[in-house]
Amino acid sequence: MEAPVDLARLKARDDAEWRRVEASYAPRLYAYVARRVKDREAREDIVQESFLVAVRNIERVDPALGFEAYLFNILGSRVIDWLRRKRPVQLTGLGLEESAAHFDFVAAPRETPSQVARQAELEEGARILLGAAARAWCRECFEAQAFERVAVFEAVVVRGIRNKDAARRFGHADDGAVAGVKFRGLKRIAELVHELDASGAVKQAVLAHLSHEDRPVDLDFAQAWSEARAACPPREWLSACARKEDGAEQVHVRHHAPDCASCSAELDHLRADPAGSEAASLLEALRRRRAAEHDEQA
């Protein structure tokens, strides 16, 4: 089992700890990018840039979510940015050229810039808090060996599968059991929101969302769940899956991994050679790039 990431050492810019983290995560990040980006050089640039952003902003890591979610969120953003640059919006030929020249006539939002900023901060805080509570609930279920409970909840609440379809998938006679898992899961997540340290406004925004009251923020449960990697299993479970081993936890892995881009990429990596030369060359390129940046700042 890999040693946990030492956030204190990372924040202190400890080179040895950063090298260990790079060696552990670079192949997994590369596998994730490879599923979306065909250009090999672009893949390397995206992974290198993600590590550099992670180093620069390490103080922003939310302990409730952990380093792994922080790093994969950065990577996901870099991939999206690259895809957007490669697929620019084309107005020519669509009859929109003249309209595009008159976008200044679109009514401006009534909110002031400070109000917009405060709302954005509230939404970000609510999303992080909801993700942290969901992640804590999943860990409770894992510790209780309630693997199917998480799989059922993720299928219905996160993936949007209907109760009766989920009942068939998991071998239940009717959808009452599925509805019960959903209800009790949301109730416990709401309790965990209360327990986690967060500002009153953020906490109330999340609780209003969970109780379907008037919602002060636009909050997407599936997005919060995904960004927090709430149900992502420990790496050793994925390793066991790659080796086709049996175990109670594999119930969750089999249902979760196919719909999770990060875990699918991790499985791809584990089924291949994790110590491949491509990963080694990537780490060396990253170290050269970091050294060059350090020299420029010196």
- Please report which confidence band the pLDDT of residue 185 belongs to, taking 50, 70 and 90 as the band edges: very high
Higher local confidence (pLDDT), 123 or 190? 190
Tens digit of each residue's pLDDT (9 = 90 or more) over 214-230: 555 677 888 889 888 99
Q: Does a structural domain hold residue 166?
A: yes
Tens digit of each residue's pLDDT (9 = 90 or more) over 159-170: 889 999 999 999
Residue pair 6/51 in contact by the 8 Å Cβ criterion: no
Give the domain range for residue 127.
112-230
Q: CA-CA distance, 18 to 45, in Å (whole number)?
A: 18
Q: How many separate domains does the chain show?
A: 1
Find the helix or strand (DSSP H, E) in which 169 lies. helix 163-169
pLDDT > 70? residue 153: yes
Q: Does a structural domain hold residue 140?
A: yes
Residue pair 199/125 in contact by the 8 Å Cβ criterion: yes
Residue 227 corresponds to which tokens in the numbers above?
């960004």
Cα dist from 239 to 66, 139, 266, 267, whole Å: 21, 18, 9, 7
- Please report which confidence band the pLDDT of residue 244 belongs to, taking 50, 70 and 90 as the band edges: confident
- Please report which confidence band the pLDDT of residue 275 belongs to, taking 50, 70 and 90 as the band edges: very low
Residue pair 55/18 in contact by the 8 Å Cβ criterion: yes
> Burial level of 177, CB count in 10 A (0-12/13-18/19+)?
middle
What is the chain's mean pLDDT, rounded?
78
CA geometry: angle 141, 254, 244, nearest 5 deg = 115
DSSP 86-141: HS----TTTT-HHHHTTGGGSPPPSS-HHHHHHHHHHHHHHHHHHHHHHHHHHHHH
Residue 138 corresponds to which tokens in the numbers above?
């999943």
N residues, the chain: 298
- Please report which confidence band the pLDDT of residue 100 belongs to, taking 50, 70 and 90 as the band edges: very low
Give the whole-number percent of the chain exceeding pLDDT 70.
Answer: 76
Q: Does a structural domain hold residue 126?
A: yes
Q: CA-CA distance, 139 to 5, in Å (whole number)?
A: 18
Tens digit of each residue's pLDDT (9 = 90 or more) over 199-211: 788 888 888 878 7
Q: Does a structural domain hold residue 91?
A: no
Q: Does a structural domain hold residue 7?
A: no
Q: Does a structural domain hold residue 268?
A: no
Q: Residue 217, SS3?
A: coil
Neighbours of 9 (CB within 10 A): 15
Q: Does a structural domain hold residue 207?
A: yes
DSSP character at residue 157: I
Find the helix or strand (DSSP H, E) in which 224 lies. helix 221-228
Q: Does a structural domain hold residue 254?
A: no
pLDDT at 286: 62
Q: Residue 12, SS3?
A: coil
pLDDT at 188: 93
Sequence-distant (6+) residues with CB within 8 A of 232 are: 68, 256, 260, 262, 263
Tens digit of each residue's pLDDT (9 = 90 or more) over 37-50: 888 888 888 888 88
Residue 165 corresponds to which tokens in the numbers above?
């379809």
Sequence-distant (6+) residues with CB within 8 A of 201 are: 122, 125, 216
pLDDT > 60? residue 284: no
